[in-house]
């Protein structure tokens, strides 16, 4: 069986195993290779690993206390409503690396400039939810390559988490939490609907 298909949601971790900042940066950098609309990369990671930060997160969770107490970190993923402010930086780097012609950069920036004022915060957030879902899945797969397990968590107070962590709640909107650490259990096997139940050929 492919290693990719062996991923399970792990809830219990070895509390003595920590992840260095250097390795976490490497994991998040690889995860950030995930695709995003117009390459705006709206994901913002808040790595909750200290005891003090975990205690601020605790009352925001509906459950998942075992993950909180034993994981090396709880990675809170938010989408940035101001993601388009990074457009010029992203495209300039692409030009410098020879990955994008200058005229394409200028066209993209004009398109963004013409578009952004027509978008509501809700529309920008909706797009960010999709992009952040992609990066979260990639993060969980990359974590396994590094020998760690994960669990995706959506059960938390979305309206309170930014304030609890001291994050600008008007700019950053929560998507999910991913716990990460050295797994102590094997997780539970689960079933999936047959592809014929979920797919329509047209």
pLDDT in tens, 103-125: 999 999 999 999 999 999 999 99
| Percent of the residues in the chain that have a pLDDT greater than 70, as a whole number | 99
121-145 vs 21-31: helix crossing angle, rounded to 10: 120
Tokens of 31: 């995860």
> What's the pLDDT at 45?
98
pLDDT value at 39 more than 90: yes
pLDDT band at 1 (very low <50, low <70, confident <90, very high): low
End-to-end CA distance of the chain: 31
């Amino acid at each position: 069986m492919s290693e990719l298909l062996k991923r399970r949601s792990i809830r219990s971790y070895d509390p003595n195993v920590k992840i260095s900042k250097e390795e976490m940066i490497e994991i998040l950098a690889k995860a950030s290779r995930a695709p995003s609309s117009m390459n705006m990369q709206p994901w913002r990671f808040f790595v909750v690993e200290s005891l003090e930060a975990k205690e601020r997160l605790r009352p925001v969770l509906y459950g998942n206390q075992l993950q909180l107490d034993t994981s090396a970190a709880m990675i809170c993923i938010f989408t940035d409503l101001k993601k388009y402010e990074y457009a010029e930086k992203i495209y300039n780097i692409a030009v410098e690396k020879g990955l994008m012609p200058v005229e394409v950069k200028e066209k993209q920036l004009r398109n963004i400039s013409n578009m952004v004022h027509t978008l509501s915060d809700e529309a920008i957030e909706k797009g960010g939810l999709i992009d952040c879902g992609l990066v979260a899945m990639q993060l969980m797969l990359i974590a396994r390559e590094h020998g760690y397990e994960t669990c995706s968590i959506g059960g938390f107070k979305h309206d309170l988490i930014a304030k609890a962590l001291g994050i600008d709640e008007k700019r950053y909107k929560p998507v999910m939490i991913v716990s990460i650490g050295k797994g102590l259990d094997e997780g539970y096997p689960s079933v999936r609907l047959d592809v014929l139940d979920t797919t329509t050929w047209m």
